[in-house]
Amino acid sequence: MSVASECKIYENNGILRNAIDKAILSLNLTAKNIIFINISYHEDRNLNVLYSGMKHIMTLRGEGKDSSPVTFYGFEDISRLQNKPEASILNSPAVKYIKMPFEIDQLKEICSKLRPVNKRNRLLDEETKKLLTEDKDKEVQLQIRGFVHAWRNGVTYLTALLNKLSEYQSDSLAVQESINELIKYRADFISVKCASYNGIQDFVEQKFKRGKKITALPKMMQACKKSYTTMYNRLEKVLKGKGAVSALISALQKTIDNLKEVEDLLNECIKK
């Protein structure tokens, strides 16, 4: 984002950003807080970039983070652009569009018509509000899937190590290797996974409310954290030569059992 002209410019191409900045500066606009944004501006390269600039403003306004008037620019013709679902934001208050390459006078005229939106609940048109709600829903669903995946991976990793530990004599080289491998999972291996649940808890409980047990998840995760901490302490003792491998194995087994209990509940809810 560039602010030399006291306007905010969202443009990924550095050369174009500087040029637009200087062009705006030459206009001596009375309104200083206008956002100029390419319809394809993107902060994250994983995003679909064609209309991500419009999505960016949808999010900013949807979250009430910025109510500044907006001038979008892009190479598309407005009549074509307006027919695309992503372009509903163009119907929101204090939003204009200009097609590149544009006449500077035309830009000045557009900007002179932009007025700030005073009421926060009027930042978006109805269609865009609806789109935003749908997007949020999809995003949380992806987060849930990511959480379930991370949890399953935890079970898989620890189970693989438990199998190795259980298979050989405690003083064997294979067991030593497994113990060394186990230490790579940091002390917060499980607590990090549990923390990521906080962001989706409300949505999960609401979505899977028919599976009433879902509300027990946080408590079950606490048990996972506790058993993992115990296991990790025993691991450190074994590494210092002060603990028995058998105690470590039993703590690892307990941790996996607790993790699996959470996994089963998640699976049960997801299937419903």
Partner 1 sequence: MSNDRVIIIVLGEGNYVNEGWTAIHTANYSQECTDITECIHNHISVKDGKITSSIDYDLVICRENYFVNDNVNNLLNNITAQNKVVAIHKNATEKTNYETFFRQQAIRVNLFSRYQDGSDKIWNNIKPVLECIVNHESCVINGYKDLFDNLWAVLAPSPVDEAHSLRAEILTPFVPFHLYYQIDNEKKEDGWKDILKSCCMEINKEDNGEVKSLGTKLDELLKLKTDLPENMKTAPLKAFYELKEYFMQDEDECIKTKDSSSRITKFADCLENVVNYVEFGDTSECL
- By beta-carbon proximity to partner 1, the closer residue of 26 and 82 is 26
Structure tokens at 116: 């700030």
- By beta-carbon proximity to partner 1, the closer residue of 16 and 220 is 16
Residues 75-114 that bind partner 1 (CB under 8 A): 75-77, 80, 100-101, 103-105
Least separation in angstroms between residue 121's CB and partner 1 is 31
- By beta-carbon proximity to partner 1, the closer residue of 144 and 262 is 144
Our finding on whether 63 is near partner 1 (CB under 8 A) is no
- Pick the piece of the chain touching partner 1 (CB under 8 A) from 8-16, 115-123, 169-177, 242-250: 8-16
- By beta-carbon proximity to partner 1, the closer residue of 25 and 244 is 25
Instruction: Give me Rg for the CA atoms of the chain.
Output: 27
Is the torsion defined by CA of 4, 40, 49, 125 positive or negative? positive
One residue of 6, 13, 166, 244 binding partner 1 per CB under 8 A: 13
Our finding on whether 49 is near partner 1 (CB under 8 A) is yes
> How long is the chain?
272
CA distance 244 to 167: 16
Residue 36 φ/ψ, nearest 5 degrees? -110, 125
For the stretch 196-201, contacts whose Cβ atoms lie closer than 8 Å and that sit 24 or more positions apart, written own/partner, are: 196/146, 196/147, 196/150, 197/147, 197/221, 199/143, 200/140, 200/143, 200/144, 200/147
Q: What secondary structure letter does DSSP report for 129?
A: H
Contact (CB, 8 A) for 39 and 73: yes
Least separation in angstroms between residue 239's CB and partner 1 is 23
Our finding on whether 53 is near partner 1 (CB under 8 A) is no
| Cβ contacts of 182 within 8 Å, gap of 6 or more | 161, 235, 252
- Map residues 144-163 to x or -, x wherever contact with partner 1 holds by CB under 8 A: xx--xx--xx--xx--x---
- By beta-carbon proximity to partner 1, the closer residue of 94 and 182 is 182
Our finding on whether 134 is near partner 1 (CB under 8 A) is no
Buried residues in 75-99 as b, exposed as e (16+ CB within 10 A): ebeeeebeeeebbbbbebbbbbbbb
Our finding on whether 141 is near partner 1 (CB under 8 A) is yes
By CB under 8 A, name the binding residues for partner 1: 13, 15-16, 18-20, 22-23, 25-26, 40, 45-46, 48-50, 74-77, 80, 100-101, 103-105, 141-142, 144-145, 148-149, 152-153, 156-157, 160, 267, 270-271
